[in-house]
Amino acid sequence: MNEMIHIVNESRRRFLQVGAGLTLALYFRPGPAQTASAPTGEAGDAVLEPNAFVRIGEDNTVTVIVKHLEMGQGVYTGLPTLVAEELDAAWSQLRVEGAPADAKRYNNLLWGPMQGTGGSTATANSFEQLRRAGATARAMLVDAAAQQWKVPAESLSVSAGVVTHPASGRKASFGELVKTAATLPVPSEVKLKDPRDFVFIGKPVIRTDSRAKIQGAAIFTLDLRLPDMLTAVVAHPPRFGAKVKGFDASRAKAVRGVEEVVSIPAGVAVVARDFWAAQKGRNALTVDWNESAAFKLDSATIMAQYRELARQPGAVARKDGDPEAALANAAKVLEAQYEFPFLAHAAMEPMDCVVQLRPDGCEIWNGEQFQTVDQATLANLLGLRPEQVKINMLYAGGSFGRRANPHSDYLVEAAAIAKALGAGPLAGRPIKLVWTREDDMRAGYYRPLYFHSLRAGLDKDGKLLAWQQWIVGQSIMAGTALDGMVKNGIDPTSVEGAANLPYAVPNIQVDLHSPKLAVPVQWWRSVGSTHTAFSTETMIDELAQAAGKDPVQFRLDLLGQHPRHAGVLRLAAAKAGWEQPLTPGKAGERRGRGVAVHESFNSFVAQVAEVTVRADGGFAVDRVVCAVDCGIAINPDIIQAQMEGGIGFGLSAALYSAITFKEGQVEQSNFHDYPLLRLGEMPAVEVYIVPSTEPPTGVGEPGVPPIAPAVANALFAATGQRLRQLPLRLT
């Protein structure tokens, strides 16, 4: 950054000032009606801040502090909606600011004392909290008006950011009432609206982050520029578990712009004045690796070992009745094995973060998803107290679980670099760690490789009698800060979606093996359901066929105790025209329709997929009809968007994605060998939302699980082939 910046860009200027110690906030302009652009509190003196989530300024702006990471799922729109609803604010006066790391105020209510985003919990845990926050502020503004106008509070009404006394016609904006309201006590009890009176909830709005993101003004971590900032890239070991034996940095240091080369536990870091210099420096680096303890297996070997393990009893995640005995007496028994590869999250923004060490602490800028874990891990590494680790939450260019890493992996890497520079002339300068796509693909973390084995039996009437399932795959939580969640050898994230199979079956057992491997693994959008939905929903389809029943009706007959599963299934089938024959394809084409239904994160989704198999054996997914029940629909447009996106994301895994190991090395490196779905391959998607008065549940993940089994079932309908491996390959 030695060059003069010749182009002045207003939206970025504010961020260049950030290093001066100002609080970093993400301001947005929600729409053309936007009035002030100054952050709340600058324009006027008094500020009404009745709680940790709402701040109203004399400039009439309402700033909503969002404790969850905006990574595409829409929390910077959906959560402010809850505040605006109870506050009766005008949409145009809203601002959104990311919360600092502070679990005392901003913990995820579904995670106990921890702050963080994940498990599709943002809306569910905020629904009451943010409505209350808005209602509290509203009550204080009303009280202020009542006091000023000497009228009873009950005689006032509020709408679109204006308090009105209908009897006298008097009106005041929120901003005009702030000074008085700020002097009033914060009420401890507030009344929430009757859902019939909702004005924002249940209606689509323009996303608050849209404008900045389409103008290139939104700041992702990769875009952050701070005074004196340096950029670092890391030479990672070629195999997990390899260590640096030695390195020669002389050629790297000769690259113009390279400032320093340091060894850290994760590898060798090249620190430079900008990305390109760092990258050239890394290319010029020679590292000697000690691979004696390194991981050297092939994916095929791992799968073969897992296949063996699946024949043995494991930890029991569920047992009802006696499936062994029942299967011995079943009229029909089906057996199948399923294989799932490692998967990379491959967020469009590769992993990155900015770390600055100061004598009194550490400051982080990051698409921050796991505040409390990250604070604790970094504090431990740096010899600080957790509260000395200050975290600024920026937009994330996707995450899909990756930025909530139980080991804080890339943050630790950046902090280790900053620490290694500690005594030298570069001490204290902000370090931006950038992972290239190749780092992101090869340095972990992955959805674990899984193997499933399933046996299921029908009685002579075609009723489901018994179900036995063995799941083999690494535990995501064992050995991490979340180890306590693993009970009796069962990591719940390995068996979710299988252990709670919704279908009525008197005899069922689900066993789990959690072998250890040096491959680092992590949750990946919809976690356990990425594999359990596939095995269970394709097996149930096979059973329907074996019983001679329609796949939808066969499921419905077994879902008597699960009306919400049945509800989405019926809706999707009806909207897809399940009862009508599918339009035939062109000459030589075969078409098929398949269905799947799955619950994840307390939301229920059914999808009907239509496929066309061409004469050359290639196939396309043409249309997906999706029904979702996620309780009260806060923002139907975002729900729809998350279903569309979840389907597309799931299709990449169904059609293409696999991370494979050869002698311990990841074979993929970039999008040419880890392809993602492209626009022309995206099916037409229709989304239907089940009307509901249940509390809202998440939608970020639940759209993903049903698509792969629905497509596999459709391919069966078209070709008669049962596919039991992902990605799907017709033979």
Partner 1 sequence: MFNLTVNGRSVSVDAEPDTPLLWVLRDHLGLTGAKYGCGMALCGACTVHLDGQPTRACVTPVSAAIGRRVITIEGLDSKAGKAVQSAWEKLNVVQCGYCQCGQIMTAAALLAQNPQPADADIAAAMAGNLCRCATYVRILAAVKEAAATLKGGQDHE
- Name the minimum Å distance from CB 147 to partner 1: 41
* 644 contact choice in ligand FES, partner 1, none (CB below 5 to 8 Å, kind-dependent): partner 1
Tell me: does residue 195 bind partner 1 (CB under 8 A).
no
Tell me the backbone φ, ψ of residue 267, rounded to 5 degrees: 150, -145
CA 253 – CA 286 distance, rounded (Å): 12
Site for partner 1 in 162-181 (CB under 8 A): none
For partner 1, the closer of residues 41 and 585 by Cβ is 585
- Name the minimum Å distance from CB 2 to partner 1: 7
- Name the minimum Å distance from CB 527 to ligand FES: 20
- Name the minimum Å distance from CB 441 to partner 1: 10
Select from 47-55, 544-552, 581-589, 676-684 the region that touches partner 1 (CB under 8 A).
676-684
Edge to edge, what strands does the sheet with 62-66 contain? 47-48, 54-57, 62-66, 94-98
Q: Indicate the residue whose CB is closest to ligand FES.
A: 348
First to last CA, the chain: 54
CA 545 – CA 563 distance, rounded (Å): 23
For ligand FES, the closer of residues 73 and 493 by Cβ is 73
DSSP string, 547-575: HT--HHHHHHHH-TT-HHHHHHHHHHHHH
What are the Cα distances from residue 436, in Å, to 227, 236, 264, 701? 23, 11, 18, 26
For partner 1, the closer of residues 350 and 473 by Cβ is 350
Tokens 């940790």, residue?
A: 52
CA 171 – CA 438 distance, rounded (Å): 59
- Name the minimum Å distance from CB 275 to partner 1: 5
Tell me: does residue 664 bind partner 1 (CB under 8 A).
no
Q: Name the residue type at position 661.
A: F
Interface with ligand FES (CB under 6 A), residue total 3
- Name the minimum Å distance from CB 672 to partner 1: 6
Select from 163-171, 306-314, 389-397, 406-414 the region that touches partner 1 (CB under 8 A).
389-397
Label the pairing between strands 352-358 and 361-366.
antiparallel
CB atoms within 10 A of CB 13: 10
For partner 1, the closer of residues 6 and 311 by Cβ is 6
Tell me: does residue 348 bind ligand FES (CB under 6 A).
yes
Among 542, 491, 487, residue whose Cα is nearest residue 512:
491
Tell me: does residue 398 bind ligand FES (CB under 6 A).
yes
3-state secondary structure at position 414: helix
CA 235 – CA 475 distance, rounded (Å): 27
Select from 1-9, 120-128, 157-165, 442-450 the region that touches partner 1 (CB under 8 A).
1-9
CA 265 – CA 186 distance, rounded (Å): 50
Helix (H) or strand (E) holding 138: helix 122-149
* 2 contact choice in ligand FES, partner 1, none (CB below 5 to 8 Å, kind-dependent): partner 1
Among 29, 36, 74, 31, residue whose Cα is nearest residue 696:
74
Tell me: does residue 349 bind partner 1 (CB under 8 A).
yes
Tokens of 452: 């499933």
* 232 contact choice in partner 1, ligand FES, none (CB below 5 to 8 Å, kind-dependent): none
CA 663 – CA 291 distance, rounded (Å): 12
| The dihedral formed by the CA atoms of 418, 440, 448 and 707, expressed in degrees to the nearest 10 | 140
Site for partner 1 in 99-118 (CB under 8 A): none
* 223 contact choice in partner 1, ligand FES, none (CB below 5 to 8 Å, kind-dependent): partner 1
Tell me: does residue 206 bind partner 1 (CB under 8 A).
yes
Binding track over 561-590 against ligand FES, x by CB under 6 A: ------------------------------
Note the residue count of the chain: 731
Tell me: does residue 364 bind partner 1 (CB under 8 A).
no
Select from 353-361, 372-380, 420-428, 434-442 the region that touches partner 1 (CB under 8 A).
434-442
Tell me: does residue 437 bind partner 1 (CB under 8 A).
yes
Tell me: does residue 9 bind partner 1 (CB under 8 A).
yes
Tokens of 570: 């019926």
Instruction: Indicate which single residue of 24, 219, 597, 728 sits in contact with partner 1 (rule: CB under 8 A).
Output: 219
Tell me: does residue 401 bind ligand FES (CB under 6 A).
no
Q: Are 43 and 59 in contact (CB under 8 A)?
A: yes
Label the pairing between strands 464-473 and 507-513.
parallel
Instruction: Indicate which single residue of 87, 396, 544, 547 sits in contact with partner 1 (rule: CB under 8 A).
Output: 396
CA 691 – CA 154 distance, rounded (Å): 33
Tell me: does residue 304 bind ligand FES (CB under 6 A).
no
Site for ligand FES in 54-73 (CB under 6 A): 72
* 211 contact choice in ligand FES, partner 1, none (CB below 5 to 8 Å, kind-dependent): partner 1
Site for ligand FES in 155-184 (CB under 6 A): none
Site for partner 1 in 118-157 (CB under 8 A): none
For the CA atoms of the chain, what is the radius of gyration?
Answer: 27
Tokens of 228: 């004196």
Binding site residues, ligand FES, CB under 6 A = 72, 348, 398
